[in-house]
Each structure stands twice: as C-alpha cells, then as structure tokens.
C-alpha cells in the first residue's frame, strides 16, 4: 500500500488523522493523508472503483466506494475521475483530484486531507 497523496498522516490543531484517534465520543475509523487542494490522488493499491460516495449531505465533497481482493472501503474528500467508475485501477494510477475539506468544514486549523478507510 502507498499513500494516496504521497504524504503522511494528518496531525494538526483539529486532531490526529491516525486510525482510532479520539473524535469526542467516538473513534476515527480511517486514516487521513495530508494533501493540497487540486493535487492528483492515486490508488493506494490495486482496486475496483465501485461508485461515487458522499461523506456528508449537502456538501460538494465526494469520494469513492472501493473493492479489492480481500476488502472493501471508502476514500473521501476528492473528485474521482468519472471514467474510472466500475473499473479496475492499479496501485499508483491517478484516480482523482483533491478537494478542500478544511474549506467545507470551515476549519482553518485543519490540514486538507484524504480520508481512507477499510470496512470491517
């Protein structure tokens, strides 16, 4: 697996992007990889992009639901390339462009990032 942004895990004044990090009454169920709005996002491993997925209602933010050999999951906060929906992509292939989660949430202390999670 490679970072979909080429960067490390988010750590900022809004908290940690590590799996299991505190989110008040719950735990973070993914990993947040730092990015810059507009940068290319790549597949972290070979996967099928099943469909576009929305992280929250009434928001321009989007992402994908993905499937791999032994797992499924989601990636959020990027605009996926529509031509890839339903297709198999290889590790490192460009799959979309990063959006700004900090702008959408109105959190200037939060670094923009891609949320990656595996469904259990």
What is the 3 state secondary structure string of the chain? Answer: CCCCCCCCECEECCEECCCCCEECCEECCCEEEECCCCCEEECCCCEEEEEEECCCCCCCCCEEEEECCCCEEEEECEEECHHHCCCEECCCCEEEEECCHHHHHCCCCCCCEEEEEECC
Q: What is the pTM of this model?
A: 0.94
Q: 22-81 pLDDT, tens per residue?
A: 998 999 999 999 999 999 999 999 999 999 999 988 899 999 999 999 999 999 999 999
Question: Which fold does the domain 11-118 belong to in CATH?
Answer: Glucose Permease (Domain IIA) (2.70.70)
* Domain positions in the chain: 11-118
């Amino acid at each position: 697996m490679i970072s979909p942004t080429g960067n490390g895990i988010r750590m900022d004044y809004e908290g940690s992007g590590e799996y299991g990090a505190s989110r008040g009454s719950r735990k973070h169920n993914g990993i947040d990889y730092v990015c810059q709005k507009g940068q290319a996002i790549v597949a972290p491993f070979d996967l099928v992009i099943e469909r576009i997925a929305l992280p929250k209602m009434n928001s321009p933010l989007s992402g994908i639901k993905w499937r791999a050999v032994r797992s499924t999951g989601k990636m959020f906060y990027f605009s996926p390339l529509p031509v890839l929906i339903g297709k198999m992509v290889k590790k490192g292939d460009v799959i979309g462009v990063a959006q700004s989660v900090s702008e959408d949430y109105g959190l200037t202390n939060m670094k923009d990032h891609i949320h990656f999670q595996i469904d259990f």
